[in-house]
A and B are shown apart, each in its own frame.
Chain A
Amino acid sequence: MAHAPEPAGQTHAADAVASVVGLKVHFESRAGRVHAVDGVNFDIRDGETLGLVGETGCGKTVTARSFLRLVPMPPGIHAGGSLYFHPHQRCSHCLGAGCAVCEGTGRLPVTCSACGGEGCRACGETGVKTIDLSTLPEKELRDIRGNRIAMIFQDPAKALNPAMTVRNQIAEVFYQHRTQEVLERARLGTRPNPLLRRHAAQRSRLIERALLALPPLRMQRKRVERVIDDMVASALAETQIPNPSKVMERYPHELSGGMKQRVMIAQALACNPDLLIADEPTTALDVTVQARIIELIKELQSRHKSAVLYISHDLSLVRRICNRVAVMYAGRIVEIGLTEEIFANPLHPYTRGLLAAIPGRSHDRGQLVAIKGTVLELIDPPPSCRFVERCSYAVAVCAEVDPELEDTHDGHGVACFIHNPPDMAVELPSFSKLTS
């Protein structure tokens, strides 16, 4: 068996916002156990945009949802691995403007409270505060969701509650994560009435809400709500929505698709998260609208300096907005590396096939290189390479051993025996073999 000491991407590095280590998410079904995500490793570095690409059913959405533990369990099973998250705070040297200390990101990781930055077991010797999202208690997870890690969903028409105004949906985020700030801005900071405090934390019950509707608390509650109005309006304004104060009183179905996605983005960025997960945010949109949303995400990212995990099936899109790309196939990462590297020098046969399958300017008609066959059934898969049946380079060993994701050079990792031969005497696959 091939065992590299440190598979590519599994660095659990200090400069990562999040590290996925050996993540396995399975699903129980009548037919058997579906290995939807089966040993995924990668880092998301500070301020970068990492693209996670793959075709339908490759596990990219499940991976993304695992960050916020949004995979329903059951039928989902967390079958192993961890998701480490390093929460950040504003850089104390430049106050978020970006300087040498924070390498222009405007953020610095929070120091590990257990060892004070020395490096200990709790932080995996990194010295920065490390949270394992896969085991974090629900209550603490809630403080991260929507606050430190936020998500943009694929179809904004489905991800916005149809029965709530835009304002109320975005307001929830502020109430939940910015309670203190809201109270302070409403000049209720020093000793707010407990009822108001509970209101601002969305904890009030029916009777309390009735009391808040009556004087004298009514006026103070109104003040809180005006503050929220302002916060929501400025969050919307950031996404270049014209006339935010009018848009926020609307219901989602009254807005166009592009508008809805802007609302989603405003909601996700409301608390200035360290990591933004964008799950195919433009798939449901028209090309011209898509272009605008992409430009918007790029622009907001450069302003907020959040790291972005961008999930997509569209390679040409990913190429334009991502610093690095991870290619997923059948629950595994098969290749990861810098975007230029992946596109200029794809190493995995699957990545090559995928790139050759896109009808581009340079392809003659009828000359697309299609990958033969269909995706492997993920129900109790054999210990072979997942791509073996569709791979034109496969040899005997590929059907027996599953290659690990290993670094070839400069952080360009690939899970294929062509580049990382196993430590045994077998016939090896090679690109040249087929062409000769």
Chain B
Amino acid sequence: MTATLDPPSAFGADIRGEVAISVRDLYKHFPIREGALQRVAGNIRAVDGVSFDIRRGETVGLVGESGCGKTTLGRCVSGLIDPTRGGVYFDLAARDQERLDSILAVPEPDRTEEMQRQLEQLDSDHRVDRLGKQKWLRYRRNCQVVFQDAFASLNPRHHVREIVGRPLKVHKEAFSAQLTERVVELLERVGMGRQHLYRYPHQFSGGQQQRLSIARALALDPELIVLDEPTSALDVSVQAQILNLLNELQQELHLTYLFITHDLSVIRHMADRVVVMYLGKVSEAGSTGDIFDDARHPYTHALLRASPDVDDDPGTAMVTLEGSVPDPALPPQGCRFHTRCPVATPACGWEVDDVVRWLEDEPGMFDALTDVTRRNAFTADLIFSDESSAAALATALGSEKMPLAARQALVDMKLEPTRVHIAFQPVSPVELTVRGPGHVAACVLDRMPELD
């Protein structure tokens, strides 16, 4: 994977408006340790090269299924974890922004010393994981988080005044009586009041707990709030209360939201722009209208048609996806979605692992597979312990058992007694391409073909 950054693919960069946060080429890998010595055997690529901007006053929705990396990305933006590569930039003036993008557009080895120096400077001033103490505290004032499980995010041994007033204390904004008044103000802002000051988190309902954690997030008058599934644990009627509250607050306080959720109906209701993630990468991004009415990625389509909306005709069939999400430590080549894609083409990145994955579900054959010698991800020899299995694979590779696209992508296949040589056409990763103003998608197809 190259580190090149085609400016338009930094989603949102071509729309005007003041930028609050820029995520640039962000990677977060978690090492997998294996064996008796606990050596690093691989990496879970939770976030694998993501770039986008969040503009002041807007709500960016981040959607995807569990394991797609949306929560990890959210934690990187909140500064709770440090990215493996790339970074989250805040407080960039338009000029700095341009400079940063122009430097990042040059592949690392080709950068001049001057560029390198400028980048260092930008990093130490604006990159969230490189900030000094003073700047870090400033970032903390500017970026707050509301967590999914409100109860878990409130210290059970602190009462409301301690919880909501704590940011003010830490940043030395208010003490004693003044603090109490500020806390009451904040509580009233989220629809609670003075009578709740000395109660403990467990004495509140789920909705009230979430209000408390919103009040805490508001205490420092931040610019950006990362909302990590803030209503997933709540009932619909309470969810509606919280969503309305978040909206009101945004209007009044000109807040910027990064709204992370798996619930598409919530995202459609709340977001101005939407980023769809699949297996650590952005598969599509655009304005809410683009995503919901003109989706250009088959995964977005699948998500939309799998999640029923109350206002939809109940007769429309729910489109379902085949298979399960591949292992994020060994993401598929080409387009990561090709293994489950209903409209996959030969150019989507068919590879040796697709054959191995297919074998795993074939009775007997996987046990007969003794070795796979790979030349690269697309070319390999599969060695079996008996001739019949090898022959069976060779037959299967030419039959209906394999997706048509995979068969078309298979450029070479030779059967030697117990060895099957296969070669798929090599494909580079599918990058995001522009589909319209501020609308990008990572799919080899220009248009979604009509399904069923």
Contact = CB atoms under 8 A, between A and B. Distances in A.
A and B touch in the complex (CB under 8 A): yes
Interface of A: 55-56, 242-243, 245-246, 256, 258-259, 286-292, 294-295, 313, 315-317, 319-320, 339, 343, 353-363, 365-366, 368-372, 374-375
Nearest to A317: B308
A246 to B, nearest CB: 6
A295 B237 contact: no
B188 interface: no
A361 B236 contact: no
Given A287-B306, A291-B306, A370 B269 contact: no
A357 B237 contact: yes
Nearest to B302: A288
Interface stretch (B135-143, B243-251, B387-395): B243-251
A288 B306 contact: yes
Given A287-B65, A287-B262, A319 B318 contact: no
A320 B314 contact: yes
B236 A313 contact: yes
The 3 A-B pairs with the shortest beta carbon distances in the complex, nearest first, are A359-B269, A291-B306, A357-B240
A354 B307 CA distance: 18
Interface of B: 65-66, 205-208, 235-241, 243-244, 247-248, 251, 262, 264-266, 268-270, 302-303, 305-312, 314, 317-321, 324, 361-363
A82 B411 CA distance: 68
A295 B243 contact: no
A375 B303 CA distance: 32
B243 A288 contact: no
A289 B270 CA distance: 24
A286 B320 contact: no
Contact of B362 (A243, A292, A362): A243
A369 B269 CA distance: 13
Nearest to B266: A359
Nearest to A295: B320
Contacts of B244: 366, 368, 370
5 contacts: A287-B262, A313-B236, A316-B310, A366-B243, A370-B240
Given A243-B362, A288-B65, A365 B269 contact: yes
Contacts of A258: 324
Given A357-B240, A358-B310, A374-B208, 14 more contacts: A55-B235, A242-B361, A243-B362, A288-B320, A289-B65, A291-B305, A291-B320, A292-B320, A292-B321, A316-B308, A339-B314, A358-B265, A359-B243, A362-B311
Given A286-B65, A357-B236, A370-B241, A365 B247 contact: yes
Contact of B248 (A56, A320, A363, A366): A366
Contacts of B240: 356-359, 368-371
Nearest to A292: B320
Given A287-B262, A371-B237, A361 B306 contact: no
B272 to A, nearest CB: 9
A368 B243 contact: yes
A366 B310 contact: no
Given A295-B320, A313-B236, A320-B314, A365 B270 contact: yes
Contacts of B303: 287-288
A368 B247 CA distance: 10
Contacts of B66: 286
B311 A360 contact: yes
Contact of B236 (A55, A243, A245, A374): A55
Contacts, number: 124
Given A359-B240, A371-B240, A287 B307 contact: yes
A287 B309 CA distance: 12
A374 B318 CA distance: 33
B318 A294 contact: yes
A361 B268 contact: yes
A246 B243 CA distance: 46
Contacts of B320: 288, 291-292, 295
A179 to B, nearest CB: 29
Contact of B321 (A288, A319, A370): A288
Contacts of A354: 236-237
Nearest to B366: A246
Contacts of B205: 374-375
Contacts of B363: 243, 245-246
Given A288-B302, A295-B320, A365-B247, A357 B308 contact: no
A359 B265 CA distance: 6
Contacts of B265: 316, 358-360
- The listed residue with most B CB atoms (<10 A of its CB), out of A259, A287, A369, is A287
Contacts of B238: 55, 370, 374
A169 B135 CA distance: 57
A375 B236 CA distance: 12
A291 B318 contact: yes
A288 B243 CA distance: 24
Contacts of B251: 366
Contacts of A358: 236, 240, 265, 310
B235 A320 contact: no
Nearest to B243: A368
A343 B310 CA distance: 9
Nearest to B316: A320
A363 B236 CA distance: 14
A354 B244 CA distance: 15
Nearest to A350: B237
B293 to A, nearest CB: 10
Given A354-B237, A361-B268, A368-B244, A319 B310 contact: yes
A391 B153 CA distance: 31
B314 A319 contact: yes
A363 B269 contact: yes
B359 to A, nearest CB: 10
Nearest to A246: B363
Contact of B306 (A55, A290, A365): A290
A250 to B, nearest CB: 12
Contact of A357 (B239, B305, B306, B314): B239
Given A243-B361, A287-B303, A366-B248, A55 B318 contact: no
